[in-house]
Structure 1
Amino acid sequence: MTKHVLITGANRGIGLALTQLYLKTGWQVYANCRDISQADDLTHLQTLFDGLSLIELDVTDYAAVSALAHSMAHQPLDLLINNAGVYGPKGTVFGHTDVQAWREVLEVNTLAPLKLAEAFYPHIKHGTPGVIACLSSKVGSMSENTRGGGYIYRSSKAALNSVVKSLSNDLEPDGIIAIALHPGWVQTEMGGPQALIDTHTAAKGLKQVIDNLTLLDSGLFMDYQGNYLPW
């Protein structure tokens, strides 16, 4: 039986690599990006795979998110991957935090994943078990923050981890797994060319972790190699 996944931020980086990998392994992929006309690599995949549906959507437009969920009401999902994310201004140090930029990052990285989970919860209930996977970051770990700085991005991912923990508790009766995942330091526009791994390595590791999740993993924080990370 064909499995179905919705991936946000699928037009580049890890999102694009995840889309390619799930398509190659026979999944039906609903791939989201903000502007399909600017997503050449993603649209090219439609010429190669019949199992790809493109969804143009700003994940912070919650009315549009609800409308999309309503339009897909009869489409069960096995997996929701909240991948879309932004870093915000780099080099932000104590005393020079851009509050408006902070709000924008929190909107994309923290609020949107929860609103997507709320909107698509009825679809994911059909999974066996259904999974909500949120791409977080090791820099969101309180325990591992020994350097300071990074207030905007760090706090958005720490807050996302809290969202995942609450989701795991609320959705446990339905057998839905909620998990926070660290993809590694990846060679993307955000991670930079000096990062340690490429997007395909990250995607392969993330998929393997997701494939092997059990209900006992729900509410935990894991990296792309399957290691558990401290909050």
Structure 2
Amino acid sequence: MPVELKGNIVVTGANRGIGLELVKQLAETTGEEAHIYACSREPEGSRTEALRQLTTRHPGKITIIKLDTTNEESISAAVQAVQDQIGDGGLNLLINNAAIRKPASSGALFATKKNDMMEVYETNVVGPFTIAKMFLPLLKKAAQRDSPAKGSDNKTACSSAIINISTAFSSIEKCPETFSAAQMYPYRISKAALNMLTRCQAEDFKTHNIVVTAIHPGWVQTEMGGEKAPLTTMDSVLGMLSVISSLSNKDSGMLLDWQGNTIPW
């Protein structure tokens, strides 16, 4: 049984780019029983205006949650806010999408400072680590509620998943092919670490029947990806949601692209 895009869904970094498009398409394609918790660092800020408009177009379907991925207290408060709304329902899908890239240039060695490395690592690795850790009790609730009956032969069934948005630039094997295009030291290194986090949590959470998969969204036309990127957010997210909806336990701990192809570590 694949991961069904239903129930309670949390998306981080939901105020723009890929995160905003994820919320939009999830709101449009999931059934009445689904609810999306769209996380933003500044829910009332100007950069969250598009997300607020989206909640108006889909009344009762989207709840905006304040969440700063670098602040443990903010994460804890966000978990409590979601818990208060879902009760015993559990969390079916957590998409760790929030990420940053520093410095703003190509991230060449001599343009990159220590603070760039530390800030990117904190947001792109420590953030998803802490978020998954704190949301784990809610993920376990969903997995336990909808797990296969004892003695069932269905060993691939899952109803709770964590998706870590990664990148092809995280691939150590493919680095010689991609390095000249964009060096991006902090971003590449942080996403490689995110891949290991994905692998570790896949092993750790498999006893709970929780799938953990990293997905590369492609080179996308976003604030980070730039105007020259070949993919629109709509096409990227359409592909990713198709991949997510077809995931099973065999995909846990893998790095896939937006079309479902495996990317080497």
**How far apart, CA to CA, are the structure 2 residues paired with 1:28 and 1:129?**
15
Q: Which residue of 1 aligns with 2:196?
A: 162
Counterpart for residue 155 of structure 2: none
1:59 correspondence with 2:89: no
Alignment match of 2:139 (pick from 119, 124, 127): 124
> Quick check: 2:65–2:81 contact (8 Å CA) kept in 1?
no
Give the counterpart letter for 1:62 in structure 2: E
**Take 2:14 and 2:169, find their aligned partners in 1: how far apart are those partners?**
22
Unmatched runs of 5 consecutive residues or more in structure 2: 144-157
- What CA distance in whole angstroms lies between the structure 2 residues aligned with 1:11 and 1:96? 28
Counterpart residue type for residue 44 of structure 1 = Q
One-letter amino acid of the structure 2 residue matched with residue 130 of structure 1: S
CA deviations on 1:27-47 (whole Å, 9 max, x unpaired) are 310001111222111000121
Give the corresponding residue for 1:84.
98
Alignment of 1:109-120 (within 5 A): 109-120=124-135
2:80 matched residue in structure 1: 70
Q: Does 1:204 align with 2:238?
A: yes
Corresponding residue of 1:28: 35
Question: Which residue in the other structure is 2:11 paired with?
Answer: 7
1:180 alignment partner AA = A
Q: 1:173 aligns with which of 207, 230, 237?
A: 207
Q: Tell which deviates more after alignment, 112-121 or 94-103.
A: 94-103
Aligned residues: 231
Q: In the alignment, is residue 102 of structure 1 matched against residue 102 of structure 2?
A: no
1:142 aligned residue: 172
Distance in 2 separating the partners of 1:124 and 1:63: 20
Q: 1:222: which partner in 2?
A: 256
User: SS of the counterpart of 2:190?
Assistant: helix
- For residue 71 of structure 1, report the CA deviation from its aligned partner: 3.7
Please state whether the residue corresponding to 2:197 is helix, strand or coil.
helix
SS of the residue aligned with 1:81?
A: strand
Map of 2:228 onto structure 1: 194
Per-residue deviation, residues 170-201 of structure 1 (Å, max 9, x unmatched): 00100100000000000000000000100010
Give the distance between the partners of 2:216 and 2:138, measured in 1 at CA.
Answer: 25
> What is the rounded CA distance, in whole Å, between the counterparts of 1:181 and 1:166 in structure 2?
15
Shift of 1:169: 0.3
Q: CA deviation at 1:12?
A: 0.6
Deviations 1:36-67 (A, max 9, x none): 22211100012111210001221111122123
SS at match of 1:169: helix
Q: How far off is 1:77 after superposition? A: 1.1
Quote the offset at 1:72 in angstroms: 3.1
Identity %: 35
Larger Rg: 2
1:25, CA displacement in angstroms?
1.4
